Amino acid sequence: MRVTIFGASGLLGKALMREWQGDTVAGLCSRDADICDPDRVQQAVRNTRPDWIVLAAAYTDVDGCEKNSKLAFAVNRDGAVNVAEAAKQVGAKLLFVSTDYVFDGKKTTPYDIDDPRNPQSVYGKTKAQAEIRLLELMPDCCIARTSWLFGTGGKCFPDTVLKLAASRPTLEVVNDQRGCPTYAVDLASAIVQLTRKDATGIVHATNAGDCTWFEFAREIVGSAGLSTPVGPVSTQRMARPAPRPAYSVLSPVSLNALGIKMPRWHDALHRYLDERQQAS
């Protein structure tokens, strides 16, 4: 099988490039093909002749999207459409990586794949509109929604927490947003399996279990053997430009129905900490 990954230089993309074995994989970053440029995208797809395209490229700065909404829609929605059109031209299948931010966070039980989208942030709106456009263009595409991504391939929450815990006497972390931390390595493995199973439609792919950011931070600090006290605070105290869903736990039912199970986030965190230590 031939695979082309857009966003290969990102947190998830790097894990995909490392984890994907046994197929011919081409990884592209924005220098290779800006997804906002349909000609460049078509050329890249023609050159790499993929059976599957994994679209992990996005403008992922959630607060930046609020200020630069034109760019956010150009990359996350229109760029995704450009990739889907190029995929269609060569008969390639498409897996689009989406987000828990397509939901409003008002539920108190895990989000199912057919729960209505109601994004609250510009970033969430760009990804929700991309999902809708892609399903119109390519009804058989696969949309893998994930959340709270972490890994050694880029900036992420555990890395920030560890750096702050090493330099500050105490940490304060929000305790009223609940979601599912997801290790890029485990998501990459799930994505490989999804393509091998020719998955179509929407799938929720996160590590198992859920927590608040405070609970996640406390586990990160403790597991790393640090003694920095971590205290809970409210979202209101830590105001950010983009609203975050208060509850964005994604139900694993759709993934499990395909025979794919992802490990618990505690287990994933320990493997991340080992990987981070080895990398340094």
Ligand X SMILES: NC(=O)c1ccc[n+]([C@@H]2O[C@H](COP(=O)([O-])OP(=O)(O)OC[C@H]3O[C@@H](n4cnc5c(N)ncnc54)[C@H](OP(=O)(O)O)[C@@H]3O)[C@@H](O)[C@H]2O)c1
Among all residues, which ones are annotated catalytic?
A: 123
Minimum distance of ligand X from residue 12's CB (angstroms): 4
> Which CB, 181 or 228, lies closer to ligand X?
181
Buried b (16+ CB within 10 A) or exposed e, 64-75: bbbeeeeebbbb
Tokens of 253: 């039912």
SS3 at position 25 = strand
Minimum distance of ligand X from residue 58's CB (angstroms): 4
Rg (CA), the chain: 18
Tokens of 250: 């994604």
- Alpha helices by DSSP H, listed for 68-211, are 69-73, 80-90, 122-137, 157-167, 184-196
- The residues binding ligand X (CB under 6 A) are 6-13, 29-31, 34-36, 56-60, 75, 79, 97, 99, 146-149, 154
Minimum distance of ligand X from residue 75's CB (angstroms): 5
> Which CB, 177 or 228, lies closer to ligand X?
177
Contact 182, 146 (CB under 8 A): yes
> Which CB, 7 or 219, lies closer to ligand X?
7
Q: Is the dihedral of CA 236, 239, 242, 248 positive or negative?
A: negative
The CB-based long-range contact list for 270-275 (8 Å cut-off, 24+ gap) reads 270/223, 271/183, 271/185, 272/150, 272/151, 272/152, 272/158, 272/183, 272/185, 273/158, 273/220, 273/223, 273/224, 275/151, 275/152, 275/185
Contact 129, 101 (CB under 8 A): no
> Which CB, 34 or 228, lies closer to ligand X?
34
Minimum distance of ligand X from residue 67's CB (angstroms): 16
> Which CB, 79 or 245, lies closer to ligand X?
79
Minimum distance of ligand X from residue 184's CB (angstroms): 7
Q: What does the CA dihedral 144, 14, 179, 213 come to, rounded to 10 degrees? A: -170
